[in-house]
A and B are shown apart, each in its own frame.
Chain A
Amino acid sequence: MAAEVIKEKSMILQKEMIAKLFDDLSSAKDTGKKVVYTFVPGNLSELIHAFDMLPVYPEINALQSGMRKQSGSYIRDAEKFGFSEDVCTYVKCDIGMMLNGNIGPTGKKLPDPDLLLLSYTGCFTFMKWFENLEQLYPGVPVAMIHTPYQEGGKITPEMTEYMVKQLREDVIPKMEKVSGKKYDETKLKHILEDAAKTEDLIVKIFDTTKNSPSPIDAYFAGVYYIGPINIGFRGTPESVEYYTELYREILERVRLGLGPVTPEGEVTERYRLVVEGPPNWTSFREFWKLFYDHGAVIVASSYTKVGGLYDDGFRHDSTRPLESLSEYCMNCYTNLNLPQRISHLKKCVTDYRADGLLVNSIKSCNSFSAGQLLMMRAIEEDMEIPVGFIESDLVDPRYFSYSNIKNRLDSYFQMLEQRKIITKEIKQNIPAQTGI
């Protein structure tokens, strides 16, 4: 019999927060709350809250459908509707879900959008996604904000100015019109203060993996930890409370010297890895098990930075509200150029004392995947660490090949094991050689 799962207080808090959001969404048409569909990377949650609107994230709907094993049929329905097999499955899953009544993860219908807020950050496909949604929800206004790419490896004043102008001239007026409320900068500033507190906490949480054993898995558990910060709670008191509690619980694990919790209990850390790329959602548990069965713990991942990169010191700044919202958008992981991404991953390997880097290359996500093979090679050559490569998809079950992934991971873990043995031998030989 499976052991009874003991839920930590933070898990209960998160569950309550998300349940309330979906309750609010299901009653939005009755309560008069306006609903904004938007994306996780470069999300303008604070602005949405400032107008008392409710966010819906189509990517989150898609990944939830993937975890609930519904994405396969949604994707096939979207393909019957005319979408190619080749294109992003998040989009097809979302559109398939819509074609099937838009039933959300709680089993209740999600409300139609009152506004499509297209924060086009780090992913060109977002633009195509909302062009399609605009046709499927005729008459719903679209507020579009083009986020310049960090092609030169930095955010220039011209880039920020461009974004602030878009916020002032297009996004905010549309939000005012849809919500029927005037833009209240004082209110936004208060929300941004809480956002910054949340960001401080999430950085501290992911920094706890510097401990050995790491108290958490920064990828498989990390995707749960980033839930609230990414799906609209970033600037809320509930979020500060949640992350404060989560941090407290993790510090307690550090104090007790405990490793990460998995669905099958605590894992004994054998390998410390950095992972590049999103996870597979359709077989999430099986995927995770392939790692913890070998004692592999993910100490850092790029995917958890996709909704915001705070490691380098960026915080929402209430003294420069629109500027900092803009800089936040431009600073999300997939909006960094390839040399920046390489340098970020190298820093993760060093700072979190990882044994290797693993790339999970996602068929659907060109934003992540195009260039990963070169990134991997550059890191391998420069750091002389073992790198591994597996392929899967976000929510298309047809592209999750368990045996292929298992074979590759097994070989990779053998390589890591061999490396450990060699490193140990070298270390043992050093005193003897010194003696000579």
Chain B
Amino acid sequence: MKIEQIINKCKELSFDLDFSYAKNWKQEKPNRILVGFMPVYFPRELVHAANGLAIGILGSGDRKQIIKGDAFYQSYICHIPRGIIELALDGNLDGIDGFIFPSICDVIRNLSGMFKVLKKGAFIKYLDYPQNFSDKTGGTFYINELKHVLSEITKINGAEVTDEMLWNSICLYNKNRELIEEIYDIKQQYPWRLSMEDLYHVLRAGMVMPVEEHNRILEEVLDSINANIGEPMDKIRVVVTGAFCEQPPIGLIKTIEMAGCYIIDDDFLSGSRWIQGNITTDDSNDPLEAISRAYLTRSRFSASVYSIGDKKGKSLVSLARRRRADGIIFAAPSFCDPALFDAPMLQKECDGSDLRYISFQYSENTGQYKVIKEQVGAFSDSIKLWEEPVINN
């Protein structure tokens, strides 16, 4: 398949709010199940090993008019849960067997309770990620949580999950993360070869299809951008941060790139890139223990993970330096306590590191980009015209 066809297929799948591709996959063979997970991270390996497909439910974006959802949420609550409730009430999520709500914030936590009250799915699990990162304390707790998830899945389809099956799934997701990182590495060097819009669609499609198939797609994308394609443009290189949960509309991503920026790293679909490096038997011979240790020691920095000692700020600056970024764009969803409370701390670190930044807020259904375009354009121009490249290596 040509790269254009692949990207078009990903565009179609990544915003199919009926999740038809995944539902068709389920119908193809008996005892397959679908498990929906909300942002940010969920170890999809568990579902894969249990003959299932974990699908990302990332809100309805700007693709669905919200009517019922607004009756469930006050105006001062972010947009993503109202989109998800709308999907649930309109039947878009029918056929999904269970739902996972990772611990990100109070809104997603309470959304798990709303799904319970509305009786959606055969199981609803708020997955309480440990905020204590000691192996014996947080790790033991987390492994219990993972076992709970597995037992809920196998109760439905009767699957017997062996260690070998879990390791097989872990390897496939290791490969998935490796390929994604390779793409980002090439994009860092040659950002004109793949737009952020296209990369976003490719990654988002990976949340609704089997990992084996997604890995093939990523390999093809990688092949394509390994070739010398496209022409560089006079744009600055930016890292976008703050968009880890409620996703920015595609129009916003395009706006940033059209206004004079190459997005060379981001936290848009950070669940796909959560674990840094591979999960291996160096972590543990026990697969659940290995997943847990990888989470405890190699999670990417995020507003949803407890961190003191300014580690997050340092991680952001370090990412910007590694990617040779000219600046940072803080783009957070409106009313997102975690991202918005992180911003002053992260910005202080940027100030101390002489790293330029701008910030704005959005919601998943933002439709007006003029102001953002002007702000980003001015940011880009100011760096191009007046700044020597801040980070050279």
Q: Is the CB of B132 within 8 A of A86?
A: no
* Chain B contact residues, CB within 8 Å of chain A: 71-74, 76-77, 81, 103-107, 109-114, 116-118, 125-126, 128, 130-132, 134, 136-138, 140-141, 144, 303, 306-310, 332, 334-338, 340-345, 347-348, 361
CA distance A144 to B343 in the complex (A): 21
A120 and B131 in contact, given A144-B306, A162-B141 (Cβ under 8 angstroms):
yes
Instruction: Contact check, B307 vs A131: say whether CB atoms are below 8 A apart.
Output: yes
Question: Contact check: which of A81, A88, A166, A378 meets B132 at CB < 8 Å?
Answer: A166
Q: Check: A134 CB closer than 8 A to any chain B CB.
A: yes
Decide: A151 near B112, CB < 8 A? Known: A134-B308, A146-B132, A373-B72. yes
Which residues on A are within 8 Å of B, measured CB to CB? Answer: 81-84, 86-88, 91, 120, 123-125, 127-132, 134-135, 142, 144-146, 148-149, 151, 158-159, 161-162, 165-166, 169-170, 337-339, 341-342, 361, 363, 366-367, 369-375, 378, 391
> Are the C-beta atoms of A151 and B125 separated by less than 8 Å?
yes
Q: When the two chains form their complex, are residues B77 and A83 in contact, meaning their CB atoms are under 8 A apart? A: no
> Known contacts A144-B131, A170-B132, A338-B114; is A370 also within 8 Å of B81 by CB?
yes
What 10 pairs across the A-B complex have the smallest Cβ distances?
A338-B113, A82-B344, A151-B126, A128-B341, A146-B131, A371-B110, A370-B110, A162-B141, A366-B106, A84-B340
How far does the Cβ of B297 sit from chain A's closest Cβ, in whole Å? 17
Please name the residue on chain B nearest to A84 by beta carbon. B340
Smallest CB–CB gap between A326 and chain B, Å?
12
Complex alpha-carbon distance, A129 and B140, angstroms: 27
> How close is B298's CB to chain A, nearest CB, in angstroms?
19
Contact B343 A369 (CB under 8 A): no
B134, B308, B334, B361: which has the most chain A beta carbons within 10 Å? B308
Are A162 and B341 neighbours in the complex by a CB distance under 8 Å?
Answer: no
Min distance, Cβ B372 to any Cβ of chain A, angstroms: 16
Residues on A with C-beta less than 8 A from B342 are 128, 131
Q: Are A370 and B77 in contact (CB under 8 A)?
A: yes
| Residues A135 and B348 in contact, CB atoms below 8 Å apart | yes
**A180 and B114 alpha carbons, distance in the complex (Å):** 46
Contact at A339–B117, with CB atoms within 8 Å? Answer: yes
- CB-CB under 8 A from B306, the residues of chain A are 120, 127, 131, 144, 146
Determine which of A128, A169, A339 lies in contact with B337 in the assembled complex, contact meaning CB atoms within 8 Å. A128
Q: Distance in Å from the Cβ of B240 to the closest Cβ of chain A?
A: 17
**Distance (whole angstroms) from the CB of A136 to the closest CB of chain B:** 10
Closest chain A residue, CB of each to CB of B71: A373
A contact face: mostly helix, strand, loop, or mixed: helix
Whole-angstrom CA separation of A135 from B109 in the bound complex: 27
* A120 proximity list for chain B (CB < 8 A): 131, 306
Within 8 Å CB of A130, what residues of B? Answer: 308
Q: Which residue of chain B has the shortest Cβ distance to A131 in the bound complex?
A: B308
Q: Is A84's CB under 8 angstroms from B343's CB?
A: yes
Docked pose: A88 CA to B348 CA in angstroms: 20
Contact residues in B for A87 (Cβ distance below 8 Å): 335, 337, 340-341
A61 CA to B193 CA in the complex, in Å?
A: 54
A-B contact pairs, 7 of them (CB 8 A): A84-B340, A124-B105, A149-B109, A151-B125, A165-B136, A371-B110, A373-B73
Asked if B116 contacts A337 (CB within 8 A), the reply is yes
- Does A366 lie within 8 Å of B110, measured CB to CB? yes
Docked Cα-Cα span, A361 to B81, in Å, equals: 17
B131's partner among A127, A337, A371 (CB-CB below 8 A) is A127
Interface hub of A129, A130, A146, A366 (most chain B Cβ within 10 A) = A366
Q: With A82-B344, A378-B117 as known contacts, state yes or no: A337 contacts B335, CB within 8 Å.
A: no
Chain B residue at minimum C-beta to C-beta distance from A83: B344
Check B116 against A338 for contact (C-beta < 8 Å): yes
The chain A residue with its CB closest to the CB of B313 is A135
Residues in A with CB closer than 8 Å to B76 are 86, 363, 369
How long is the Cα–Cα vector from A316 to B345 in the complex, in angstroms? 38
A170: chain B residues at CB < 8 Å are: 132, 134, 137
Q: Given A134-B308, A162-B140, do A125 and B131 touch, yes or no (CB 8 Å)?
A: no
Q: Contact at A86–B106, with CB atoms within 8 Å?
A: no
CB distance from B330 to the nearest CB of A (A): 10
Which A residue's beta carbon lies closest to that of B310? A135
Known A-B contacts A135-B345, A366-B106; A142 and B114 likewise in contact (beta carbons under 8 Å) = no
Which residues does chain A contribute within 8 Å of B77, judged by CB atoms?
366, 369-370
- In the bound complex, residues from chain A placing their C-beta under 8 Å from that of B361 are 84, 86
Question: Which residues of B are found within 8 Å of A162, using beta-carbon distances?
Answer: 130, 132, 137-138, 140-141
Q: If A86-B76, A166-B132 touch, does A374 touch B126 (CB 8 Å cutoff)? A: no
